[in-house]
Chain A
Amino acid sequence: MMNDSGSAKPPSPPRLRSANLPEIVDRPYTDPEPFLSGHPILPEDMDINDFSLAQLHEMNQKLLEESMGAEGPLISWPEDISALRDEYSNLPDFVAQINTLSNQGYRTIIRVKGDGDCFYRALAFIYLRQLICSASARSLDQLSATKTVLADAGFDEIAYDTPYDLVMGLVKSDSAGHELWNTFTDQSTSNYIVMYMRLLTSAHIHLNQDFFSGFYQNIASDSETSNPLAKFRRQFVEPLGKEADDIQVTALVQALKFHVKIAYLDGRSPNGQVNFHDFGLDAGDAPGNSEPPVLLYRPGHYDILQKDA
């Protein structure tokens, strides 16, 4: 695209050579700037393998940002997965994985805005949609049980009452389709739902400290505070805009007593294979009759993946 296919590669810059040092880079160094500063279009004379892992990661992040622009809605209308494939057309490892998903029947993606709340928003959407669709007294019980979790964790009632009423009202209103989508695209309503999910996540971590302190040591080592988990909840769980790590994902799915599969689209598996991870399903549990909803994970971002539009 940028060069004729016949043109030579850029000359390699002078490098230090020493017979005593092993040769690490066996390809001429190429300055990443021209590719990364713009849309990552691969020049025809370059192969994807010419890029380092770090460069690939950066290109992926760039794509993510463009794919999830600041202008987009909080939750998109279902889109054909081919749109996603087109965005990755220069990254064959991603395309292979997207094809795998498509062949497994996952043909639709609902995009969630990449604003740091995407996991909470995506999970809340599929959770509430499922509650509303199942339309039973049991689903109302399930939801009201989450309020008990917040009370048990010692949260002040004023902190969770209003968002709880909002979420409960939504489930009772029985509006699964277009209306639910409308609700989730309305900035403030959508964010109150996210807020409820965040409080619930925080409460669940607090009530299961023994379990979660194991996770926590992997995330940060802050031994100076007497209760690092409390600080973690305050700084990285409760405030809006803070991305969810494994600990938050695990906690929220557990707190909702939900079961979700997460498909990992990372462009790093051989043969385009896609790994699915089950969350909220104990090792001994038999998988339910119905297939659990699926989130699509790209490093740093969550969307919703589904089989039918």
Chain B
Amino acid sequence: MTGEEISKAVEKIAVQIINKNKNIKDLVFIGIVTRGVHLATRIINEIKKLKKLGLPLGMLDITFYRDDVDSIGKQPLAKETKIDFDINDKKVILVDDVLFTGRSIRAALDEIMDFGRPNSVELVVLIDRGHRELPVYAEYVGKTVKTNYSDKVHVHLKEIDKTDRVVLVSKKSSR
């Protein structure tokens, strides 16, 4: 996926969100760190261009809500979680870069519920690569990609990775 395709996908998602939500003022965005936050920022900016309306953005680090804390290996360093608005009775748009097993989203949903009781939560992802292990569904998808389970999908965003692109890295098939 090229930088241009990413921009197109962000525009498409912004339009879909506007069309689907009459009361756009009730929306709040929560991005999953790190890249979900940058994607959410872009979508919010796109909506601002189209509707002249700023929407709140929170960031969510799901490290403490993961289900594999004591699996052998290093512990990831948690980053900042910052949701400085009330999410009660709001419509939360949750944003992540890649949707895979659905476990991150499960963790994110648990954490969001600890902040309050939103009216509803909808999911935005740039890439849906399949292989769901939990019943998780993304309402807004930039691109659906067929992958093998062992593949890696790397999302690079200008804000932190200098360029905009998505690459699919296939493990050399071991047959």
Partners in one complex: no
Using a CB–CB distance below 8 Å, which chain B residues touch chain A? Answer: none
Using a CB–CB distance below 8 Å, which chain A residues touch chain B? Answer: none
